[in-house]
Structure 1
Amino acid sequence: MLSVNDLAVSFRTRRGEVKAVRGISFALARGETLGIVGESGSGKSVTSYALLRILDAGGTIRTGGVTYGGIDLRAASERGMRDIRGREISMIFQNPRAALNPIRKVGHQIEDVLRQHGRASRQDARAKAIKALADVRINDPEARYDAYPFELSGGMCQRVVIAIALACDPKLLIADEPTTGLDITTQKAVMDLTRDLIRARGMSSILITHDLGLAAEYCDRLAVMKDGEIVETGAAADVFARPRHPYTARLVDATPRPGADLRALLPAEARTPLVPHAVSNTPLLEVQGLTKTYTGKSGPVHAVKGIDFTIRQGASVGLVGESGCGKSTTSSMLVRLLDPSAGRILFDGQDIGAIPADRFARNPLRGAIQMVFQDATDSLNPRHTARDTIGEPLRRLTTLDGAARRARVEELAAMTGLPAGLLDRFPHQLSGGQKARVGIARAIATDPRLLILDEPTAALDVSIQAVVLNLLADLRTRLGMSYLFVSHDLNVVRLLCDEVIVMQGGEIVEAGPAAQVMDAPAHPYTRALLGAAPKPPSAPRSPQAPDRAAE
């Protein structure tokens, strides 16, 4: 169905030409699902944009050919490509909210595609758009037709994007990181739905992802990309179980899985003994009857419903659950960015929940409770250098000044593995892993006793995630901090946490030691969460010949 031969793509930049894709070749059979895997910057998304000829300004296909069903896509006119896009080849983009028009009803956006390709008239477009929503199993599709994207959850928006992509019955679907940012059960629902629709319609598909576990579960074959090149291809199970290229082996090793430990995720040369951390029986944080209620159009909305839990000094507690379960609302109340409606938050015996959020910023305990936010990019001021960002809490919450503050910033950078030469760079000049280190350095600047981590590795490549998780484990031991680790990735929680709290619908449905909750879950919802997690094949054997040519 699709043949790519010696494809090379480059971009013009102020610093010269950047070669993003360097002469790759692969083929896709009818009915096959190919996974293109690799880390950020490997060229996998650029490859998909080149296939559809939707490269950003400055991007050029330098060499190679792309043939779809006998059609030379590189030689096709732009008018011809507009006819192919959506009708023959469709794409699901990474960020569903960004892919949808925020001021246009979702039903109208589906109609746009149907009418553009002559699949609907003015008279029947609405009915066909509602059917497209029903096909992706959206509840009450007639009502959702009139909804705007901001009125829908992330999972719902992703279903709308899938409905748009499949509206014209294309033969090839390209999914670019379709589950980034979705919680684990929504991710499974979206991936199962996409797989079922592809099979039912006899389509071919390409899944682009940095999640090897996800690719191994849903793809027939894998192509592994690094630095713009394909370094290995093969059947998904074979690539995972017997990686032939050292880079593939590193990616597989870094994939969290049951039974692994934190150090096993790092390259062998970077592994050192993990120092046990001391957990006291003394409570650091006690939550009693914590409640948060909002006033909605149809009455009160109970986001958090009277929950109770304790975090002991030195402990790492995982807080897991689906989007909308109340875990982010809970963490925002604990860090005092949000006022509770009822209940108590006792930190070292003091009820900090009684202090209004707008006054807590000036409280001496402000520096003792800090937070690492989910999106390292969005949580950093784009106009502040890394040095300014790390130094901000020192300026606001300590008496350090001048040389002492500069020395402390450099100490924090060294502690988090951020090279001193990067301190004067702005966020856009840093990689995802480097921005994560800046966020962590800022959070630990005031020697907090409790660190709340809100999905700190959700957007990171698997090997960078491994480094950040190990960094957090080391800092916990060295600085004696307690962690509340908010995440939807149960394999990551298993690695880092001593105890786990499971939330559903604003309530705690299960809590206990991590091993007990993960290995013998008592609540049906916990079992459902564990069942939804991607299941990577068992750990691979190391490549026998690191310098052997890849397939």
Structure 2
Amino acid sequence: MAEPVLEVAELQVSYGHRAGPIPALEGASVTVGAGEAVAIVGESGSGKSTLAAAVMRLLAPNGRIDAGTIRLAGEDVTTAPERRMRALRGGTVGMVFQSPRAALNPVRRIGRQIADAVRAHRDVGRREAADEALSLLEAVRIDDPGRVARSFAHELSGGMCQRAMIAIAMAGDPALLIADEPTTALDTLTGASVMDLLGDLVKARGMALVLITHDIALASTRADRIAVMEAGRVVEEGPVDAVLARPASAAARRLIAATPTMNAPSIGAGARAQLPVQPVEEGAEPLLEVADLVKRYGETLAVDRVSFRLARGESLGLVGESGAGKSTIARLVARFADADAGAIRFEGTDIAAVSHRRFHAAPERRRIQLVFQDPGESLDPRRTAFETLADPLARMDRLRGSDLDGRIAELAGQVRLDRALLDRRPHELSQGQMARVGIARALALRPKLLVLDEPTASLDVSVQAEILALLDGLRRDLGLSMLFVSHDLAVVRRICDRALVLRRGRIVEEGPCGRLFDAPETDYTRALVDALPRLERQPADARRR
């Protein structure tokens, strides 16, 4: 049997803390052979990203390997000096990071960054390295490699940045590629194309692939084997078909049950059930009516004569690729941006015709609230959860003392946030807890419409399922309407009554979610549906790779 490209055995990793070391890996083991794709899946905090960082020897400064071994292509690198690791990174093992914009150098052109990676592992001159950078950009299917090579990261789309990151990872022709949540920040079509690219590169070059993901549906279509992690250990490992059909661990069963997919596989008592949605009465007077909405950014037409209606108590999804205009429409409706033309009538009042100053003093300001995509970035890092919730209540409702305390306690109960967490700042909360604080803040002024911009995009599937159930319950209990922006059709199908499909600023199709996604009428909607990962149970060579 050939020697594994990666062999991790009984690895223990901890992070130093003033209260004592915090264990992150507690005896994790995994093996990957040449040409094999292995997905490491698990909930947030299970240890998957720590495992990847340990293999690369890129742990945070307070992280340390306490026990176990890491072997790359037969070499024990558990205690290898940094000079040796710099040679192995890129040369033996390459890594594709979750957020390509954060991983790329913002002040160096893309071509230069790739060329630097080439020269780090090959004895070539600047000209030859620059030519190789262009060849690598072509290899990752970038249509205009010369333009991209001259560009900075902020001038490229998320998909382009991820392809550039893959080119850098491939520069040293590694034997092993680690992809850490490579599609989390991408829309469905772009994410599918990136995974197709990774699969083709691995197959063509005979590399091993480690896919780190919380999305077991994605893993099922892209891997030969799955390793399930929980509490710093690999609690289950095996071929994709076996793990999906007969999950032996509670962790695997939770991931499968929580995964929002367009097909609902029969896996026994743990099968995913559709969340209930509140029916909307025919002919009901709309809470929100958008007519011929237009928004330009320079020469780019971001929203092109968009019209739709949202009934009271209805949840309406906006779906499409990055750049389709979804988030722009959300910001226009919430008056975080001004429309260039068109009307936004909320309870009969055209709020698009009202100045910012007048709107923020009007009752409509209270009744329309926005929930942001990344709660970690939208919450003030200096304020506790209590202070975050207290701010709008003190300023807008003039609440003080016991009245303020009582209202904040009520909000915490509505979003199922432990009151003991109210004294914590964002960095002391989990992603799910921060999401609950963000929702509670939006509910503070008792709105009628919640505008939610990718509210679950940064969450693992288990927490995502909890937040979707929470939002659906709030909609029923409080009589809320929701405008729900997402690139994930499966999430929209799970929480929305109707959906609008957007492309290049225009609505290309709309209708009830069941009909729209089961029997799409346009090629574009069909492409979005087809690009979604499904929980697959078929031979590995029949899956999309």
Shorter-chain TM-score tier: over 0.9
Asked whether the 8 Å contact 2:274–2:494 carries over to 1, the reply is no
Query: 5+ residue gaps in structure 1?
Result: 539-551
Cross-structure match for 1:286: 289
Displacement after TM superposition at 1:41 (Å)? 1.1
8 A contact 1:279–1:315 mirrored in 2: no
2:192 to 188, 192, 198: 188
Task: Please say which of residues 58-67 and 450-459 is displaced more in the overlay.
Answer: 58-67
Whether the aligned pair in 1 keeps the contact of 2:98 and 2:185 (CA below 8 Å) is no
With structure 2 as the length reference, what TM-score do the two structures score? 0.94
Counting aligned pairs with the same residue, the percent is 49
Report the secondary structure of 2:500's partner residue.
Answer: strand
Closer, same or farther in 2 for the Cα pair 1:18/1:267, shift >3 Å?
farther
CA contact (8 A) 1:260 1:495 kept: no
Partner letter of residue 290 of structure 1? L
Inter-CA distance 19–266: structure 2 relative to 1 (3 Å threshold): farther
Q: How many residues are matched?
A: 531
Alignment of 1:496-511 (within 5 A): 496-511=495-510
* Contact kept? 1:37, 1:209, Cα under 8 Å: yes
Residue type matched to 2:445 in 1?
Answer: T
Q: Is the alpha carbon distance of 1:522 and 1:26 closer, same or farther for their aligned partners in structure 2, counting shifts above 3 Å? A: same
C-alpha distance 375-363 of structure 1, shift in aligned 2 (>3 A): same
Instruction: Work out the CA distance in 2 between the residues paired with 1:470 and 1:294.
Output: 36
**1:363 corresponding residue in structure 2:** 362
Please state if 1:209 is matched with 2:213: yes
The DSSP-based 3-state class of the residue aligned with 1:16 is coil
- Contact kept, 8 Å, 1:254 with 1:266, in 2: the verdict is no
Q: CA deviation at 1:277?
A: 5.3
Does structure 2 retain, via aligned residues, the 8 Å contact 1:255–1:265?
no
Indicate how the Cα distance of structure 1 residues 45 and 156 shifts in structure 2: closer, same or farther if over 3 A, else same: same
Tell me the residue number matched to 2:115: 111
* SS at 2:98 equivalent: coil
Residue 495 to residue 35, structure 1, CA distance change in 2 (3 Å): same
Match of 1:137 in 2: 141
Farther off after superposition, 72-81 or 4-13: 72-81
SS at match of 2:361: coil
Task: Decide whether the 8 Å contact of 2:29 with 2:233 is kept in 1.
Answer: no
**Candidates 98, 101, 114, aligned match of 1:97:** 101
**Counterparts in 2 of 1:75 and 1:450: CA distance versus 1, 3 Å:** closer
Q: 2:54 aligns with which of 50, 56, 64?
A: 50
Tell me, in whole angstroms, the C-alpha distance in 2 between the residues paired with 1:266 and 1:187: 31
The one-letter code matched in structure 2 to 1:93 is: F
Partners of 1:276 and 1:509 in 2: how far apart? 25
CA distance in 1, matches of 2:193, 2:66: 39
The Cα offsets for residues 78-107 of structure 1, whole Å up to 9 and x where unpaired, read as: 222211110111111111011111000010
| 1:146 corresponds to which of 145, 150, 159 | 150
Task: Structure 2: give runs of 5+ residues left out of the alignment.
Answer: 538-545
- What TM-score results when the alignment is normalised by the length of structure 1? 0.93
Aligned to 1:122: 126
Residue identity matched to 1:324: G
TM-superposed deviation, 1:66: 1.6
Cα deviations by residue, 1:484-526 (Å, 9 ceiling, x for unpaired) = 1100111111111111100000000001111111111111110
Q: Does 1:8 align with 2:7?
A: no
Q: Which amino acid aligns with 1:294?
A: Y
Does residue 87 in structure 1 map to residue 86 in structure 2?
no
Q: Which of the numbers 225, 230, 233 marks the counterpart of 1:226?
A: 230
Partner SS, residue 139 of structure 1: coil
Q: CA deviation at 1:77?
A: 3.0
1:545 is matched with none
Contact map agreement 1:241 1:537 (CA 8 A) in 2:
no
Q: What is the DSSP-based 3-state SS (H/G/I as helix, E as strand, rest coil) of the residue aligned with 1:400?
A: coil
Distance 1:39 1:353 in 2: 42
**Deviation of residue 272 (structure 1)?**
13
Does residue 325 of the first structure (1) align with residue 328 of the second (2)? Answer: no
CA offset digits 1:394-425 (Å, max 9, x no partner): 22332433321221111010011001111111
Give how far 1:393 is off.
2.1
Distance in 2, Cα, partners of 1:83 & 1:456: 40
- Say yes or no: does 1:197 pair with 2:201: yes
Distance 1:454 1:398 in 2: 26
